[in-house]
């Protein structure tokens, strides 16, 4: 609802965007912004505790040694947070697959233009096309299962990597 208040045609931001040919409400950009607004907290939920735990000493050392901001990010920060970032993206994807509320408000249900799969299920159901609604819902289920499989694979790889790190640390301590 906040996007309608911020980007509606009768608001300063919405009016300015409309003058420049950018539609947010009842258009794909609004769907994307609403979905990101709803799903990005899942990424933050994974990254913030990890980054707080790791601290900023390595980044500060890289900057002290002459690395720029992007270089520090790509070579120091990203390798340390890559698994948490990927896990957050998978969780966000799982949330985005079935997003209905925010997208419903922002999209306007314009068939063929601002339809998403959950909205299409609702439209088909309201038209008493239960077979079509079930088919689309089944596709959503397959996407959800693929997301769960990706999450499980990521957790397995992360555990394997942690076990290897623990083994190598134990071997170094014994040596």
- Domains contained in the chain, number: 1
The whole-angstrom separation of Cα 87 and Cα 118 is 23
The whole-number pLDDT of residue 161 equals 86
Going from the C-alpha of 164 to that of each of 84, 159, 175, the distances in angstroms are 18, 9, 16
| pTM, two decimal places | 0.73
Q: 150-156: list long-range contacts, CB under 8 Å, 24+ apart.
A: 150/90, 151/87, 151/90, 151/91, 151/94, 154/83, 154/86, 154/87, 154/90, 155/87
The string over 110-135, giving b where at least 16 C-beta atoms fall within 10 Å of a residue's C-beta and e elsewhere, is eeeebbbebbbbbbbeeeeeeeebee
User: What pLDDT shows up at residue 53?
Assistant: 93
Q: What is the pLDDT of residue 21?
A: 86
CATH at residue 126 = 1.10.3720.10
Give the model's pLDDT for residue 133: 94
Range of the domain at 81: 2-174
pLDDT for 110: 79
Grouped pLDDT means (10 residues each) for the chain, 175 residues: 77 84 84 90 92 92 93 94 90 87 82 85 93 94 91 88 86 82
Question: Which pLDDT score, from 0 to 100, does residue 105 have?
Answer: 82
């Amino acid at each position: 609802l906040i996007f309608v208040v911020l980007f509606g045609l009768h608001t300063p931001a919405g009016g300015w965007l409309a003058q420049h040919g950018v539609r947010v409400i009842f258009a794909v950009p609004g769907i994307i912004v609403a979905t990101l607004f709803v799903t990005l907290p899942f990424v933050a939920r994974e990254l913030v505790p990890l980054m707080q735990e790791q601290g900023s000493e390595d980044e500060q050392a890289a900057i002290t040694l002459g690395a720029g901001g992007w270089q520090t990010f790509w070579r120091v920060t990203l390798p340390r947070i890559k698994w948490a970032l990927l896990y957050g993206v998978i969780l966000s994807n799982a949330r985005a697959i079935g997003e209905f509320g925010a997208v419903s408000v922002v999209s306007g249900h314009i068939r063929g233009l601002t339809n998403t799969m959950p909205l299409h299920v609702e439209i088909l159901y309201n038209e008493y096309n239960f077979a079509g609604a079930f088919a689309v819902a089944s596709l959503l289920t397959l996407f959800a299962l693929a997301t769960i499989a990706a999450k499980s694979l990521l957790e397995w790889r992360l555990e394997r990597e942690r076990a290897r790190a623990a083994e190598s640390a134990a071997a170094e301590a014994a040596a």
